[in-house]
Structure 1
């Protein structure tokens, strides 16, 4: 199968990823089945091993496949995925915060993690804007820390005003958030999280991965960590 190589087309690894996902959705590669070896995929699409591995890495990061020693690359069933995933309209996501104070900790251009780079379909050298914000209670205790990464197509810069809602900023830029996909997990706090939240004991930390879309375009990739002792999160996905 010949991939598109014209200027402006998706990167080759992204095209391979799309085709493999489409085959999973159509049942060509069913849950529990083994994907073809990398060499076979390379030959089918006429691409390098690096390109195939980039596509595979994204599939792994999205928990669609898993590499198993002595068996190969296995297509995962939904029940095998670690996170609860759901999609809802943005205006149906409500945080019950009480009295909190919001603080912008930093705004800078950074080299994205592989997960963020794959999500935005960026080249290896592209930078993204990282916005780090804190929510504190009236006593100064950290309730939440948000790490938000914005797609370069939004043309947001470090000079934009982030003292207002991020979603107002995106709307002003012509990219209002119309839908979100979220994954929520909980685990006992580690050393770094204890330091951030100034915890003296082990408590559950809620991690929320949020992907915000304008139409079908992913514009926001945010990771938020919540101190479960000071925050209540209510999500209505009906």
Structure 2
């Protein structure tokens, strides 16, 4: 299937491939997925390995085993509320963050003061030595790591935050409670790899692919006061954007405006 010296167990590699197939609609929901024997031949692994992978998928609620009928993909596998389209306005983003908050569980890793990474300082337009309020939190979905988030806030916004606040409330709600007005949000999505710390917290191998989302929040004077960096497990996160045609604003290759 893959290199024999891979640090990832065989059953977990089978699970990852099967999960990717399921969430992408590879298997119809009204047709049983291949049997353990068929999957064993397909992946070139033992049936015990396939069985462990299928048990993980079943525990996650992605498949249902029916005695005498076979194994089927569940409805929830392709209808996760966390994978819905995000519209390009602040209210849409806040609604999405609220959905994530209601669907996941927070674990506070740290809360302290110190410098942010240089790339964060550059985006916020502050000196690399600027002292910021820093927090690290882990989100869990279905009792498994879903995302790892790092927050960097100006002291006038984040000084009053406590670990108790961070364990129960979305950061965007906390900063607005502290009096911040969110006028604009800039968001950047990139692919990255798990370092030692991220790998341990997200329970993935070092070097595993991750999706990195950076969000920068600006106040009513267009001054950035809060930067968020979120790492998502690549097999558990999907980001969608819905693009709509603006009536009367069709694009023309010759540069002319619509008549």
TM value normalised by structure 2: 0.49
Aligned to 1:61: none
Q: Secondary structure at the match of 2:240?
A: strand
- Pair 1:154 & 2:157 matched: yes
After TM superposition, the structure 1 = structure 2 runs for residues 85-104 of structure 1, keeping only pairs within 5 Å, are 88-93=88-93, 94=96, 97=100, 99-104=103-108
Q: Secondary structure at the match of 1:184?
A: strand
Aligned to 1:106: 110
Q: Return the structure number with greater strand share.
A: 1
Structure 2: segments with no counterpart, 5+ residues? 1-86, 245-259
Cα separation, partners in 2 of 1:124 and 1:237, compared to 1, 3 Å: same
After TM superposition, the structure 1 = structure 2 runs for residues 179-218 of structure 1, keeping only pairs within 5 Å, are 179-199=184-204, 203-215=208-220, 216-218=222-224
- Pair 1:142 & 2:145 matched: yes
Question: Deviations 1:71-124 (Å, cap 9, x if unpaired)?
Answer: xxxxxxxxxxxxxxxx94222233675842122221110122223333444445
Structure 1: segments with no counterpart, 5+ residues? 1-86
1:145 shift after superposition? 0.2
Count of residue pairs brought into register by the alignment: 151
Aligned to 2:237: 231
Aligned to 1:118: 122
TM value normalised by structure 1: 0.53
After TM superposition, the structure 1 = structure 2 runs for residues 9-28 of structure 1, keeping only pairs within 5 Å, are none
Q: Over aligned residue pairs, what C-alpha RMSD do you find? A: 3.0
Q: Return the structure number with greater helix share.
A: 2
Residues 106, 132 of structure 1: 8 Å contact kept: yes
1 or 2 for the larger relative contact order (CA 8 Å, sep ≥6)?
Answer: 1
- The separation in 2 between residues aligned to 1:175 and 1:117, in whole angstroms, is 19
1:201 shift after superposition? 8.9
Aligned to 2:72: none
Aligned to 1:6: none
Q: Secondary structure at the match of 1:132?
A: strand
Structure 1 or 2, whichever has the larger Rg, is 2
Residues 89, 237 of structure 1: 8 Å contact kept: no
- The separation in 1 between residues aligned to 2:105 and 2:115, in whole angstroms, is 29
